[in-house]
Structure 1
Amino acid sequence: MTQWMVLYRKEMTEMVRNYKILWIPIVFILLGVMQPVSSYYMPEILENFGNLPEGTILEMPTPTGAEVLMTVLSNYGMLGVLILVLSAMGVVSAERQSGTAGMVMIKPVPYSSYILSKWAGLLTITLISLFIGYAASWYYTSLLIETVAFERIFQSVVIYSIWLVFVVTLTLFFSTLMKGNGGVAFVTIFVVFAISTVTSIVGKYMKWSPATMTEHTGKVLLSGELDSSFWLAFITTIAIIIVVLITSIQIFKQKELLE
């Protein structure tokens, strides 16, 4: 446990040094704030900059607070996921290329501690960014449009965080499996969006898919209730995360032993 904590502190120190602890939350805050602000001021924006014919009257219905927050999470699902993958793509592969991983493993450090400390560091920055960004979005949505019940906000962000944990775990897995950072990012993004696309197309047969966490988030925001298939998706997602983590540890161990 002491070794794991030392490695975890090393990860957090690295994030402070390369400013990830600062710029990733800022990006999530901006993504979260832009949606309620743009939704509220959209009629004025179109009127002043839309080059509309003179005399045009715009009657745009104001979206509900829940709809605005759903759009925020949708933005996190695209740009947020892209930012997280790009920031995490070299978490293992870059250290293996530079020889840092080999230097760490010379000491009596369990392979599991190395991988799990990386995973914990990624989860820390991911969840901090998500919670801060979503809180900022909720504040501006309440200020400009309407207040959404805190219970729904809390449930939705917890459910959505499970999806981001899944994405981060996949990134760690491919960073352990592959050497090139660009390849890690490409394959991770491809797999994530492939899962999301297949789930949306054949959702009837993919109720267990981790990608359905985004759908359950929307249902909680709109109705405050969970679909009956939530627990199936939740248990499956947690099981996949555990299996991917164990596989990442084994792959890292084999690669280090061969080298």
Structure 2
Amino acid sequence: MSPWFGFLKKEWTESVKSYKLLLTVLIFSVLGILNPFTAKITPVVMKNFMPEGTVLNLPEPTALDSWLQFYKNFPQMGLLVFILLFSTMMSKEIEKGTLVILLTKGLRRSTVVTTKFVTGALYWTLAFLLTFFITYSYTAYYWDQSILHHLFLAGGCVYVFGLLLFTITLWGNTYFASAYGGLLVTLVVLVILFIIAIFPSAAEWNPLQLLTGSSGLLTGEVASKEMGVPFLVAIGTLLVFLIGTISHFNKKLL
């Protein structure tokens, strides 16, 4: 077994022992169930909490309502939980000094970074697929989904944006050797993206469009071609931060 796959196996085994796999499956399965459930029960809850005698003409929930819950809950709650869960991937081992022994035995520093990135990416993929397909299954059971536009493209946009944020967190985590450093860098980048989004001309390339425009894809208000440039910018930025993480870790004193 090559050193790369050996270290990847170590990362995966440690993540399972630290209950990251269990937490990921539980949290994101619940999120998947929560989306159609919230869409289904919201009209009933609103009727029960209104004063007696009040007449509400609420439309029947549809598949769109379920998926709008997905694009509300998954980026806000799911992405936040994931970033917090994996915000110490690098800093924890740097602080403990456990990497020094492995590096002195010949393990390449680039191997450390890439395997940690791949481990995080695998977990993010698992989290996304769980939430997406549980939501898809329950929504298909209750409603007709043929009214939706670009369902899988919209999901792919959110997936790529989440992967971008994870890579930024990994860079900050490595650079500052602290979980707080990684979270702070991610927060700063998000604030910058929101500030840029104020200017209409920036929406054509702003990666934040992958998040904010996903619901518009479902309704057909946003054309699929409008996501091309933000998608490429997100991938390019992801690669820049990943290469930057490798470059910085190669020079970092441990």
Whether these two folds match at TM > 0.5 is yes
1:93 — aligned with what? 91
Match of 1:76 among 56, 60, 74: 74
- Give the residue type in structure 1 aligned to 2:225: S
Contact 1:66 1:148 (C-alpha < 8 Å) held by counterparts: no
Q: Which moved more, 1:96-105 or 1:144-153?
A: 144-153
SS at 1:15's partner residue? helix
TM-score under structure 2 normalisation? Answer: 0.90
Q: Which moved more, 1:39-48 or 1:132-141?
A: 39-48
- Give the residue type in structure 1 aligned to 2:109: Y
Contact 1:166 1:210 (C-alpha < 8 Å) held by counterparts: no
1:64 — aligned with what? 62
**Residue-by-residue CA offset, 1:71-102 (whole Å, 9 max, x unaligned):** 31222211112111111111101100011121
Alpha-carbon distance, 1:214 to partner: 1.8
Alpha-carbon distance, 1:233 to partner: 1.5
SS at 2:56's partner residue? coil
CA–CA distance in structure 1, aligned partners of residues 69 and 51 of structure 2:
29
Decide whether aligned partners of structure 1 residues 214 and 148 sit closer, same or farther in structure 2, where only a CA change above 3 A counts: farther
CA RMSD in angstroms comes to: 2.3
Decide whether aligned partners of structure 1 residues 149 and 100 sit closer, same or farther in structure 2, where only a CA change above 3 A counts: farther
1:46 — aligned with what? 46
1:239 — aligned with what? 236
Q: Which moved more, 1:144-153 or 1:69-78?
A: 144-153
**Residue-by-residue CA offset, 1:109-137 (whole Å, 9 max, x unaligned):** 22211100000000000011111111111
Alpha-carbon distance, 1:163 to partner: 0.6
Contact 2:171 2:182 (C-alpha < 8 Å) held by counterparts: no
Match of 1:220 among 209, 212, 217: 217
Q: Which moved more, 1:37-46 or 1:159-168?
A: 37-46
Match of 1:201 among 186, 189, 198: 198
1:178 — aligned with what? 176
Structure 2 gap ranges (5+)? none
Contact 1:36 1:145 (C-alpha < 8 Å) held by counterparts: no
CA–CA distance in structure 2, aligned partners of residues 12 and 121 of structure 1:
7
- Give the residue type in structure 2 aligned to 1:221: L
| 4+ residue runs over 6 A deviation | none
SS at 2:59's partner residue? coil
- Give the residue type in structure 2 aligned to 1:6: G
Q: Provide the identity percentage.
A: 24
**Residue-by-residue CA offset, 1:180-237 (whole Å, 9 max, x unaligned):** 2233223323422x14422442242242121111244334322397443322222211
CA–CA distance in structure 1, aligned partners of residues 75 and 177 of structure 2:
26
1:23 — aligned with what? 23
Contact 1:35 1:68 (C-alpha < 8 Å) held by counterparts: yes
Alpha-carbon distance, 1:244 to partner: 0.8
CA–CA distance in structure 2, aligned partners of residues 40 and 233 of structure 1:
33
TM-score under structure 1 normalisation? Answer: 0.88
Contact 1:174 1:188 (C-alpha < 8 Å) held by counterparts: yes
Decide whether aligned partners of structure 1 residues 205 and 158 sit closer, same or farther in structure 2, where only a CA change above 3 A counts: closer
Decide whether aligned partners of structure 1 residues 148 and 254 sit closer, same or farther in structure 2, where only a CA change above 3 A counts: farther
Decide whether aligned partners of structure 1 residues 204 and 63 sit closer, same or farther in structure 2, where only a CA change above 3 A counts: farther
Alpha-carbon distance, 1:56 to partner: 1.9
- Give the residue type in structure 1 aligned to 2:214: T
Decide whether aligned partners of structure 1 residues 242 and 96 sit closer, same or farther in structure 2, where only a CA change above 3 A counts: same
Spell out the pairing of 1:29-178 with structure 2 (5 A cutoff): 29-48=29-48, 50=49, 52-148=50-146, 152-178=150-176
CA–CA distance in structure 2, aligned partners of residues 44 and 196 of structure 1:
37
